[in-house]
Amino acid sequence: MLYERYLRAYAEQFRKTDRNMWNYEDGCVLIGLRAMYQATGDNFYLNALRSFTDRYIEVDGNIRNYVAAEYNLDYIPAGCVLYTLYDKTCEPRYRKAIETLEEQLRHQPRTPCGSFWHKAIYPNQVWLDGLYMGLPFHANYAIRFGDESALDDIMLQFRNARKYLYDEKTWLYYHAWNETKDVFWADPKTGLSPNFWTRAIGWYLMALADIYGMIPDNRTDLIDEMAALWKEAIDGMLRWQEKDSGLFYQLPALPNEKRNYLETSGSLMVAYSLLKGARLDVLTEPEYRAAGEKILVGIELRKFTVHDGKVELHGICKGAGLGPTGNLRRNGTVDYYLSEDVVHDEQKGVGVCMMAYAEYLQAKQAGALTDDFPKVEIFNKEYDPIMPGDPAFIAFEKDRAENAANKTR
């Protein structure tokens, strides 16, 4: 099948890669490899994960080229896989590396309202990205090693995001907020960045999804509050889902902006959150699972291409951020977000593709896929995905429209 063949080929190449730095981009792929291992039981994915990670976690547990003094939340998410490797091997080096990253979070600078700074170079700034970068690792540590009071701190940071970054008109979250309102990109009255960015909202949705699954059953207060935030945020995003493709624009609230484009990584993040929410019985209505499946089909139809016999995943925003001071180009405007490079096979897109597809596989194994929606693998033709305009795609769209019409009669 196209997804599995693409992801397996990517993993084989990834395990041999050495970028000489511990980073969140590769962390996305590591988390994706773990998800594929958990969904399939195939040791190929676990071995790829360990082959890559062991180049960075030294025998004594030090993390190669990690600099704690930067207080960079982007260093944290790759550490989520260390829990899995420690469980599998009981090797002390993984536990030491876990402690190193948690020690950073113990001293991470905070805004006056109590949320982590995104990095030391971003003072008093809360980015949606940061909730995913730091909080799932922090929650896992708290639950495993006996400091469940940290869960209340984590919940505070989600509350802060809801209070300060949520927009009641669009039902979307702004990318970032500067509590002191003194950075060049921030609105001087609200402290907010100017726009909504799909991938930023995707990071937030994935943070909710991953932490929700860890909360102990006796913390019904946190379970209920987090489920409400999750459903509200998903409902907000689904208002902006592009009808034909099922995907989301780089700037979701500006579908009529001519330069805007359907972005792959953020769309897959939403798919992951939808499918995991359905599996965990948070998003119980069948429309949620169907929306997640539709994204995966849309990605297969529109974002996979074949070049020189190799499948590539396209439409991934290489990166977008705000500042720091001195980098005035990263100002959060429409022009800025639409000026960043759009690339293929980049880690953030591929890693989240693994996560979303792993959720699809779990739903398939459980017999929980939407009955009236096409299964993703219906489109697989060796390494030749069906593209819009192909007769097979046109026939599929026609059949789906006819089936929908028949149901309303």
Which pLDDT tens digit goes with each residue over 9-25? 999 999 999 888 899 99
CA–CA separation, 313 and 335 (whole Å)? 24
- 222 and 237 in contact (C-beta within 8 Å)? no
**Residue closest to 75 by CA, chosen among 18, 125, 138, 124:** 138
**Within 145-192, where are the H helices?**
150-165
Residues 6+ apart with CB under 8 A from 364: 375
Position 390 pLDDT exceeds 50: no
In Å, the largest CA–CA distance within the chain is 67
Q: Facing residues of 166 across strands? A: 173
409 within domain boundaries: no
Please report how many Cα atoms fall inside a 13 Å half-sphere around the Cα of residue 21, on the Cβ side.
6
Residue 192 one-letter amino acid? L
Residue 131 and residue 153 in contact, taking contact as beta carbons nearer than 8 Å: no
Cis peptide before 324 (omega within 30 of 0): yes
For residue 341, tell me if it sits in a domain: yes
What integer pLDDT is reported at residue 248 of this predicted model?
98
Q: Is residue 407 part of a domain?
A: no
Quote the CA–CA distance of 199 and 251 in Å, as a whole number: 9
Which residues participate in catalysis according to the annotation? 129
Confidence at 408, pLDDT banded by 50, 70, 90: low
Q: Around Cβ 365, how many Cβ atoms within 10 Å?
A: 11
Summarize pLDDT for 140-157 with one digit per residue, the tens.
999 999 788 899 999 999
Query: 227: which 2 tokens?
Result: 């489920």
Residues 6+ apart with CB under 8 A from 341: 317, 318, 319
How high is the mean pLDDT of the chain? Answer: 92
Which residue segment(s) compose the domain that 110 sits in? 2-402
pTM of the full structure: 0.92
280 exposed, middle or buried (CB, 10 Å; 0-12, 13-18, 19+)?
middle
Number of domains in the chain: 1
Task: Give buried/exposed letters for 125-158 (b at 16+ CB in 10 A, else e).
Answer: bbbbbbbbbbbbbbbbbbbeeeeeebbebbbebb
> Tell me, what DSSP letter sits at residue 284?
-
Kindly state whether residue 107 falls inside one of the protein's structural domains.
yes
Residue 226 domain-assigned (yes or no): yes
CATH of the domain at 66: 1.50.10.10
Give residue-wise pLDDT tens across range 292-302.
Answer: 999 999 999 99
Four-point Cα dihedral 89, 92, 95, 100, nearest 10 = -140
Is 408 a domain residue? no
- Measured torsion, CA atoms of residues 73, 78, 84, 88, in degrees rounded to the nearest 10: -130
| Structural domain contains residue 19 | yes
* 405 vs 280, higher pLDDT: 280
Evaluate whether residue 244 is within a structural domain: yes
* pLDDT per position as a tens digit, 23-43: 999 999 999 999 999 999 999
